[in-house]
Structure 1
Amino acid sequence: MKRSVLKFGGSSVSDFLKIKNLAGYLKSRIENQEQLVVVVSAMGKTTDDLLTSVSHLTAKPNELDLAMLLNTGEQQTISFLSLALNDLNVRTKPLTGYQAGIETRGNHLKSKISSIKADFLKELFESNDLLIVAGFQGFNEFGELTTLGRGGSDTTAVALAAALDCTCEIYTDVTGVFSTDPRIYKDAKRRELISFEEMMEMSALGAGVLETRSVELANNHSIPIYLAKTLSDEKGTWIVPNDQMLERKAVTGVALDKEMAHVTITHPLETKAFLTDLFSELEGSEINIDMISQIQNKDGLQLSFTVKESEESVLNDLFDLLKKSYENLYVTIETTYCKLSVIGAGMRDMTGVASKIFNTLLTSNIPFYQVTTSEISVSYVLDEKNGEYAARLLCQAFDL
């Protein structure tokens, strides 16, 4: 009997009519002799609403308390979907992350999955047609509830598929992976196939279609992902191992990340101690930094990097702490920039990509302030007001 993991995002279960329609679809899959593990997110904007509620109580919530609260969003969804399926005579078992045995490690709000009780889940299929698992959540070695961070339900789904050695289907409100966000460029092309490598780069650089860790997990365990629109007959996109890509374009996509902050640090002394303390604090706070550049001269140190805009308050606390030990430390955190990235595995073997990007921006009088490259991407820091316009220009330049 075929077994699959299916994941449905918050927009797919945002109201009771959608949940009922989803239950009908799942029943048809069960009647087709399938065993399903269904991973669901919180309904609609539930997580955002919970965070707004917390802001009325405290500006600095305890992470353990916050994780406990945020777990309730997905718990509602698994209950509602199970009720709808039971009404259709489908045997279901709703499971929180704790009940599903999803053990995690690390920060309560940005945990990483360390293990899953796959044998326990397989046993449940002896008396159930379908398992409904709350995405985004788990528990740590102390039995405390944790969350996997934004987009964590994608990670839950892929991790379950890896543990159960089956396929993973992720359903959302888009019809697949496009060359860029269709809301920015209406002529963006949908990809039938994209490699893990390119999808990881696009996700990490702000594409927002899939959570980066979920693609990393799929790559590590060779689990193809099918991304498609919920309850739609439109074809989606398969995200597959790199060796299954028969043809590579020089450029696959353009990603625009508006939710970033640009940090500039200056310190008059050339000191290894400061850099050691800075990066230790960043690691301890589990802050991922990107696009690092450093200038060291007779006037001291200037260091720049980009981070997610959501990390701004944590960074402010971190720098307040460092300023107690390092006088004349000057920090600016700028949130009026964006990051524009051009991605394509074919860049390794084809010349002229970088020059075309530079010429496109320069001839359109679009200034950029920082550039970084990898084997398969080139990223620029731009003024946010130019981001969407520049993305459209580059899609046209590379026929995306």
Structure 2
Amino acid sequence: MTKRRVIKFGGTSVADFTKLRNIADYLKNRTEKDEQLVVVVSAMGKTTDELLKNVQLLTASPNEQDLALLLTTGEQQTISYLSIILKELNVPTQAMTGFQAGIRTKGHHLKSKILNIDEQKFEKAFETCDVVVVAGFQGMNELGEITTLGRGGSDTTAVAIASALNVSCEIYTDVAGVYGTDPRLYPAKRLDYVSYEEMMEMSALGAGVLETRSVEIAKNYNIPIYLGQTLSDEKGTWIMAQEEILEKKAVTGVALDKDMDYVTVSYPMNDAALLKKLFEMLEQEEVNIDMISQIVNMDGLQISFTMKDTDASQINKIFTVLNEEYPSMNFNIQENYVKVSVIGSGMRDMSGVASKVFMTLLNNNIPFYQVTTSEISISYVVDQKNGTQAVEKLCSVFEL
């Protein structure tokens, strides 16, 4: 019986033609083992970054619809090249853009969410093909406009297609699975298994291994994800339901998020209308914020929060509008902080984790400015200069 899989290759895996040819050989071998494959690819290497640099030479505030149209050309190059190579190897192949693959989206042109996928597009393609190569990161909205799925969007594309076809998803990149922390920061062990919940927390808190939405989709549809190193025999990591994992550790990983800004807003009065408008505009501009704290005293109102630095243009736009209505409002966006997070599903049942983290930071003279917790994570805002040290000390204490 023919087996189907969804396989995704990241930008570093398809960075040049030599790598594309090696991947094509690998895919040919798998089809010869009676597999039908949906292969989702990112743009080659730094193509997306180069496109963004080109735009900056033209304008500091490009139209988002035009920008989405441009950025999706990177993935379209990759699917074309890979399809050409596969056909040279006599592998029946069809290349598809997000639109051709029936990926319908809604929302912001540059941060769209997938509404649905027409799985019949794939059923039709598999009647004559062994490999369907799909451009990650993109789709089409209800107006027929090309949209992108935002950072890590190719992961989301791959898992969403796997969910639509009800098959497992393999994601290949330049690292051999999920580690207790970034191996460039600390020599942590590779994990054989990670729960969906832990992976979602690690991704959301800056681990940078998988995009959070992709893991959320996998959890919702119970789609196992295998994360491994491209064309390597080294064992990778399975991401699956918590109940399928026998051994539960108090702490699974430590994440460092360098891609964040720390925002403080102050106003000389406690004005609920200002807060209401601020949060309405944050929702409208699709700016995700976390680690929120608020102080109300004789000096007025102060609210602080963290956000992704990629939303800097949207937050500046919001404050420009607000300052016109509230000229006494002050805001400050600081880039000299990072977020350090400790993650583990075992925290639900094991006591003492929070106190151990606090004592580790205090004993190593690492000040922290804001703390937030969930059922399976604890996060701290610390000075940028202390980020790596905090990760090293916490990994050591929890034996990662």
Normalised by the size of structure 2, how large is the TM-score? 0.99
C-alpha distance in structure 2 between counterparts of 1:210 and 1:198, whole Å: 12
Report the alpha carbon displacement of residue 295 of structure 1 after superposing the two structures with TM: 1.1
Residues matched between the structures, number? 399
What residue is the counterpart of 1:259 in the other structure?
259
Measure how far apart 1:102 and its partner are.
0.4
> 1:60: which partner in 2?
61
1:139-158 equivalences in 2 (<5 Å) = 139-158=140-159
Q: Which residue of 2 aligns with 1:3?
A: 4
Matching of residue 331 in structure 1 with residue 321 in structure 2:
no
SS in 1 for 2:303: strand
* TM-superposition CA deviations, 1:213-238 (whole Å, max 9, x none): 00000000000100000000000000
Q: Distance in 1 between matches of 2:313 and 2:332?
A: 13
* Equivalent AA in structure 2 for residue 121 of structure 1: F
Q: Do residues 250 (structure 1) and 250 (structure 2) align?
A: yes
Q: Who is 1:17 aligned against? A: 18
CA distance in 2, matches of 1:24, 1:85: 8
* 1:380 alignment partner, SS class: strand
- 1:1-400 correspondence runs (5 A): 1-185=2-186, 187-400=187-400
What letter corresponds to residue 108 of structure 1 in structure 2? H
Superposed CA deviations along residues 86-116 of structure 1, whole A, max 9, x for unmatched, are: 0100000000001111010000000000011
The alignment partner of 1:381 has SS state of strand
**CA–CA separation in structure 1 for the residues paired with 2:75 and 2:23:** 16
User: d(CA) in 2 for partners of 1:123 and 1:333?
Assistant: 51
- Cα deviation for residue 120 of structure 1 reads 2.0
Equivalent position amino acid for 1:42 in 2: A
CA distance in 1, matches of 2:316, 2:163: 38
Which residue identity is paired with 1:134? A
Instruction: Describe the SS at the equivalent of 1:47.
Output: helix
Between the aligned partners of 2:18 and 2:300, the Cα distance in structure 1 is 61
How far apart are residue 317 of structure 1 and its match? 1.5
Identity among equivalent positions (%) equals 64
Whole-angstrom CA distance in 1 between matches of 2:202 and 2:316: 28
Question: 2:77 corresponds to which letter in structure 1?
Answer: Q
Amino acid at match of 1:348: R
Amino acid at match of 2:266: T
1:329 Cα offset (Å): 0.4
CA shift for structure 1 position 298 = 2.6
Which residue identity is paired with 1:393? K
Q: Distance in 2 between matches of 1:70 and 1:310?
A: 15
Give the Cα separation in 2 of the matches to 1:328 and 1:355: 40
Partner amino acid, structure 2, of 1:161: A
CA distance in 1, matches of 2:347, 2:292: 22
The alpha carbon displacement at 1:313 in A equals 2.2
Amino acid at match of 1:93: Q
Q: Which amino acid aligns with 1:283?
A: E
Distance 1:385 1:310 in 2: 21
CA distance in 2, matches of 1:241, 1:123: 31
Equivalents in 2 of 1:279, 1:334: separation in Å? 19
Instruction: List per-residue Cα deviations over 1:341-379 (Å, max 9, x = no partner).
Output: 000011111111111111111111111111111111010
Indicate the larger mover: 311-320 or 151-160.
311-320
Off by >6 Å, runs of 4+ in structure 1: none
**Letter aligned with residue 20 of structure 1:** R
Matched to 1:75, the amino acid is Q
- For 1:314 and 1:161, locate their aligned partners in 2 and report how far apart those are by CA, in whole Å: 32
Counterpart Cα distance in 2 of 1:94 and 1:327: 53
Secondary structure, aligned partner of 2:72: helix
How far 1:196 moved relative to its partner? 0.0
CA offsets, 1:123-147, max 9 Å, x none? 1100111100000000100000000
- Unpaired runs of 5+ in structure 1? none
* 1:72 partner amino acid: T
- What is the DSSP-based 3-state SS (H/G/I as helix, E as strand, rest coil) of the residue aligned with 1:270? coil
Shift of 1:205: 0.1
Q: C-alpha separation between the residues in 2 aligned to 1:112 and 1:254?
A: 28
The alpha-carbon deviation at position 314 of structure 1 amounts to: 1.7
For 2:150 and 2:96, locate their aligned partners in 1 and report how far apart those are by CA, in whole Å. Answer: 19
> Structure 1 residue 242: deviation in Å?
1.6
* SS of corresponding position for 2:231: coil
List runs of 5+ in structure 2 lacking aligned partners: none
What is the TM-score of this pair, normalised by structure 1? 0.99
Distance 2:311 2:126 in 1: 41
Residues 169-191 of structure 1 deviation map (CA, whole Å, 9 limit, x = unaligned): 00000000000000000x21100
What is the distance in 2 between the residues matched to 1:167 and 1:376?
26
CA RMSD for the aligned pairs? 0.6
Offset at residue 280 of structure 1 (A): 0.4
Give the Cα separation in 1 of the matches to 2:358 and 2:168. Answer: 40
